Amino acid sequence: MQESTKARTSHSTIKNEELKRILENIFYTEDLISELTTERDSLRLLLSKEGIRYEDGKYVLPPNASEHATALVHEADKLDEHIIRSTKKIIARQRTATSLINSVKDYRLRLVLIKRFIDNKPLDVISSEMGFSVRHTQRMIKEATELMETAYEKEKEKRLSPKGFA
């Protein structure tokens, strides 16, 4: 995958690896969707050169379609399915991240999390925007991520425990 022009932030303050992956994957959302749709559009152009149309959500082969054209349609169908699965995963991760960030009650800590993990801003920019020192911003991020990790662990326990025993 091609590296995005966005600066990637370090999530070293987060100890939970699963939560770290969820937050890191948010940054790759635009890259992944863009890459997959570009690939799909290129494939659709190739299909159109073979006389294959895309109508009403499906590929329409001409009556005299070659094996090559049929294979291209199969490949395009697989790619469309992959795009749908990837999009669903991305949406689920974004919902999880949003829910976890919203679980932090202090609005300043929530704002720091949004600026750091959603907007992907560096510490110096966040501290400047919020009027804090970089060191204080680091402490806020540490506190906020600890609160978020606690909320994540509670949510995970809740999901895994049998109904009625939570």
Compute the distance between CA of residue 17 and CA of residue 5 in angstroms, rounded to an integer. 25
Region 97-120: what's the mean pLDDT? 88
Region 102-128: what's the mean pLDDT? 90
Q: At what angle do helices 17-27 and 29-49 cross, to 10 degrees?
A: 50
Region 71-78: what's the mean pLDDT? 88
Q: Which CATH architecture has domain 105-160?
A: Orthogonal Bundle (1.10)
pLDDT tens per residue across span 9-40:
455 567 777 777 777 666 666 677 788 888 88
